[in-house]
Structure 1
Amino acid sequence: MLMKSIAAGLAGTALLATVAFAQAPTATTDKAAPAATTTTTSATGQWRTSKMSGVKVYNDANENIGSISDLLMDKSGAVKIAVIGVGGFLGMGEHLVAVPYEKLKFVNEAVAYTGTGAKPATTTTGAATGTTETKPAATTTTASSTSKWYPDHAVFNASKEELKNMPEFKYSE
């Protein structure tokens, strides 16, 4: 019985070695290897929409009023609406509201805090102006903020209570 097991093992090993040798490429000396070329595309200054979900939204008084839950675009690919989640805890009881995307102002610098309190002492880099410009705010950025592929936060000119009183956004089915 032991001899049969050893013979089966040797036969299996020989079979696997034959398959491995058959797959090994043969070297040819009559043809030159093609030159390897690598093409890359740079997207400096662009934001990934997958990273925009969860970006915090502050108001003019530097109060955290919610976070971006989703971005909605038209058929041409232009982002038209930002869905902001207001209130709730860990996604429970969150109130979704839709705001025009051009009303948001994106900022690359972090909100500055002094001390350990919950309320920041300085304001963000500008307030939402309500213009129709959809480009990111022209702010000074550091290498770490440009490599994140998303802004630090957004500014929207409303209080948390005003957002909670807005009609709730529902996805149509």
Structure 2
Amino acid sequence: MRKFLLAAVAVSAIAGASAVAQTAATTDKMNSSTTQNGAAMRANPNDTIPPKAVTQEVPKNGPSFVTVQNTDMLSSNVVGLDIYNQQNNSIGKIQDIAFDASKQITGYILSVGGFLGMGTHYVAVDPNAVMVQYDAANKTWRATMNATKDQLKSAPEFKYSGQWTASRS
């Protein structure tokens, strides 16, 4: 038991020392990196780009509070739902929700096909084409749509780019 404990302590000390060495080397590399004019350069070149200006004005008044009704949906209930067709076949998944400038839902972004994120095809559909409802008996949310997986796969592809990828992690 004593040998095991000593071995565990030695391994953790070596692992900790290498992590500190990597951090110090990275920090030294960042501090010694310079641009052509001698100014310090950041590790991520995008950090030097100022953020894009906000297009809407910040409300001048304080918050207005609302009462969320028992029949209202939350985005957390909708995003991630599998979508079924009328034959009860899974045809896709609600990946995201699109809003316009007036904060109205303009579409659901569906993921279709693919396996473990490879070969996934995204499409944007009208929110009126998808029925999302709460099943009180089973205490689950369900999404249905009158479409086939092939129809969704052949639909125009939605691509995440530009401002749509800004806050994605």
Q: Given the two structures, how large is their TM-score scaled by the length of structure 1?
A: 0.51
* Structure 2 gap ranges (5+): 1-65, 163-169
Aligned residues: 97
- Kept after mapping to 2: 8 A contact 1:73/1:80: yes
**In structure 2, which of residues 114, 123, 126 is the aligned counterpart of residue 100 of structure 1?**
126
Structure 2 counterpart SS, 1:152: strand
- Kept after mapping to 1: 8 A contact 2:78/2:132: no
Q: 1:93 to 1:108 in 2, by over 3 A?
A: same
Q: 1:42 to 1:97 in 2, by over 3 A?
A: closer
Q: 1:93 to 1:53 in 2, by over 3 A?
A: same
- Superposed CA RMSD in Å reads 2.1
Counterpart in the other structure of 1:65: 91
- Opposite residue 76 of structure 2, the aligned amino acid is S
* Structure 1 gap ranges (5+): 1-39, 110-140, 146-150
Structure 1 counterpart SS, 2:109: strand
In 2: Cα distance, 1:41 partner to 1:165 partner: 41
Cα shift at 1:42: 5.4
Asked whether 1:170 is paired with 2:121, we answer: no
In 1: Cα distance, 2:147 partner to 2:98 partner: 20
Report 1 or 2 for greater relative contact order, CA contacts < 8 Å, sequence distance ≥ 6.
1
- Kept after mapping to 2: 8 A contact 1:97/1:163: yes
Structure with a larger share of its residues in helix: 2
- Opposite residue 100 of structure 1, the aligned amino acid is D
Which ranges of 4 or more aligned residues in structure 1 deviate by more than 4 Å?
none
Which whole-Å deviations, capped at 9, do the CAs of 1:14-66 have from their partners, x for residues lacking one?
A: xxxxxxxxxxxxxxxxxxxxxxxxxx955412222133211010111111001
Q: 1:42 to 1:163 in 2, by over 3 A?
A: closer
Counterpart in the other structure of 1:47: 73
In 1: Cα distance, 2:131 partner to 2:78 partner: 13
Q: Given the two structures, how large is their TM-score scaled by the length of structure 2?
A: 0.52
Q: 1:171 to 1:44 in 2, by over 3 A?
A: same
Largest Rg, 1 or 2: 1
Structure 1 counterpart SS, 2:111: strand
In 2: Cα distance, 1:47 partner to 1:61 partner: 25
- Opposite residue 123 of structure 2, the aligned amino acid is V
